[in-house]
Structure 1
């Protein structure tokens, strides 16, 4: 996959547009993935949702199709901002690396900057830094999204209100009736709730795990590049078709998601609030310990299928739209440049 030659701001805008489109398409899968990752075994020893299809049926039956988009606003804002910042920071850092390469090589013309491609190690480091920076600004929205996607029903809220005023201590038990969901408050109200419960720092719950996960975009890009070089002819690697872009990036995302899924699961659970109000998890190590104790190592991959399906569609679509928006920017730039040149001739 060829590295974009557009300035960071243009890359960021294209990435944000791609994110908005893909997030709208795959949001129901994101909702299902979050609920599958946070549900636990009930008194009968079985989880609330037995499969992706079962969860889909249950949500539509209880809340209609609109129930599949519970929390969509916060998630779309979070994803668009996250992608905008990631592509902006990544483009900025790539330019700095190229400028250093050009300066050290003694090359005076920046026209040759495309020749100074990043190594795999540099690409990973740049991607990790861009990911960590972007996640710092979007983690509060990520917390809000998880809360909205797993909001308790009115019945559970009434039960919570009965114990209002009582301090809720961390609890090793996760066997609440967590398979009941209902519509939650708005974005700002949810933020206020989190702040009251945990303080300002609570809005960044799970950020430490998110920083570890900042390798995800970089790993996805690197794996996508490897897949591209291994499967596409050289003539198509610089300018792949939409289908090739979709398949290559979807494949790279699937591999990185499978490798890092325990961290994805942990971040979601750290940001989630139990319907009973209990603070079930306190840290990344706590999530891993309790999950393995209850369900073994396989428990770390609860909800992997829906996460993979979501990633396959989401990342592939994002990159296809980003590619098209970048092409539009280039076309507009050429048209404006040509018009400017013609105006100069007329004068």
Structure 2
């Protein structure tokens, strides 16, 4: 049987449309993504150091040292991560939400409509969907973060070369050959970074940051919960004004999406920063430096005697060194990128859904014609 003509998106189709929208929005703002990741992965410290970590300062540093290509480090992995994460999230969210609404409807008299979901229900469903998506997609996120930040060894060599002291300058000449070898040997491709992580930290290294990642499932939950609530209010207001289209205008969608994502980002930002430092492995080097211990050898990371710094440990150390503001280092870049990306996603999501539905109808028509 060919089935009936599709009139609405299935969970798979809705997930595909959402993933395409996510890739589109993130591709537009990708250079900002690289900038904010570099800021988050770096330690703060003095006022002059924090100034060097401003969005514009990091942007110009990347442009000067790496050129335009530096803004697209890890682009492929990030797009794969975005697509897989958005697909998984939209699929699980659509599936869980539809199942929940069906259960509510089943308890009502026949023909009755399920009442609008409460904010608490929206948040819970979003959190469940986000947790499931994180578990399946975080390895790609770890690889993408490592690619954006770059090799720790290469960053260390560049930092040493940037210092203007005579001692460092004299040591550079003797270490130049080894530095060149490190840069030549380092493979920053998707497969190369994945192999490096597995060799140095074991397969578990691909799931670095899973704990803060699960905590951060409240981010999309807050975003979509807020979005759905505001959208419902807008729909009611439009209906009272005589607009029965049942849709928000693109600019209203953009504004609602921006407000929703801003709130979610502000609430969850400290954990976002901690997660990046865990995945980039900069937190481990910082801890070793503070304790005056030698930096752990790469192959020690997956041994039982070495434990990665946890999110709470990172936040505690940042609090002691920099105070409350240290928790929000790079938030300007994060919120600018996240809000713009999320707003573009909400703005384009309905268009991608319309195209996906049209494609589903086309496939259905094609099957019908071939079955005759």
Give the TM-score category using the shorter length: 0.7 to 0.9
- Given that residues 119 and 229 in structure 2 are in contact (C-alpha distance below 8 angstroms), is that contact kept between their aligned partners in structure 1? no
Structure 2 equivalent of residue 127 of structure 1: 126
Q: 2:347 aligns to what SS in structure 1?
A: helix
| 1:53 matched to 2:56 | yes
Q: How many residues align?
A: 317
Distance 1:319 1:125 in 2: 20
Q: 2:49 aligns to what SS in structure 1?
A: coil
Pick one of 249, 252, 259 that aligns with 2:257: 249
Residues 44 and 302 of structure 1, relative CA distance in 2, 3 Å threshold: closer
CA RMSD between the two structures? 3.2
Structure 2 equivalent of residue 309 of structure 1: 336
Task: Answer with 332-341 or 45-54: which moved more.
Answer: 332-341
Distance 1:117 1:265 in 2: 35
Structure whose alpha-carbon radius of gyration is higher:
2
Distance 2:257 2:361 in 1: 28
Structure 1 equivalent of residue 136 of structure 2: 137
Deviation of 1:61 after TM superposition, in Å, equals 1.1
TM-score, normalization: structure 1?
0.81
Distance 2:44 2:367 in 1: 66
Q: Deviations over 1:10-42 (max 9, x none)?
A: 110011100111111111111111111121247
Structure 1 equivalent of residue 156 of structure 2: 156
Structure 2 equivalent of residue 162 of structure 1: none
Q: 1:105 aligns to what SS in structure 2?
A: coil
Task: Answer with 56-65 or 146-155: which moved more.
Answer: 146-155
Q: Deviations over 1:24-70 (max 9, x none)?
A: 11111111111111212479962473421111111111111111111
Deviation of 1:215 after TM superposition, in Å, equals 1.1
Q: 1:46 aligns to what SS in structure 2?
A: helix
Q: 2:107 aligns to what SS in structure 1?
A: helix
Q: Deviations over 1:289-336 (max 9, x none)?
A: 111011001100000000010011111111222210112234455677
Structure 2 equivalent of residue 95 of structure 1: 98
Distance 1:207 1:332 in 2: 36
- Given that residues 216 and 256 in structure 1 are in contact (C-alpha distance below 8 angstroms), is that contact kept between their aligned partners in structure 2? yes
| 1:210 matched to 2:231 | no
- Given that residues 156 and 276 in structure 1 are in contact (C-alpha distance below 8 angstroms), is that contact kept between their aligned partners in structure 2? no
Distance 1:342 1:116 in 2: 40
| 1:68 matched to 2:71 | yes
Distance 1:276 1:60 in 2: 28
Distance 1:212 1:341 in 2: 47
Structure 2 equivalent of residue 300 of structure 1: 327
Question: Equivalences for 1:260-279 in 2 at 5 Å?
Answer: 260-274=268-282
TM-score, normalization: structure 2?
0.76
Structure 1 equivalent of residue 346 of structure 2: 319
Pick one of 20, 33, 38 that aligns with 1:35: 38
Distance 2:71 2:117 in 1: 41
- Given that residues 246 and 317 in structure 1 are in contact (C-alpha distance below 8 angstroms), is that contact kept between their aligned partners in structure 2? yes
Q: Deviations over 1:193-219 (max 9, x none)?
A: 222222221211110111010111110
- Given that residues 36 and 302 in structure 1 are in contact (C-alpha distance below 8 angstroms), is that contact kept between their aligned partners in structure 2? yes
| 1:234 matched to 2:242 | no
Pick one of 288, 306, 311 that aligns with 2:315: 288
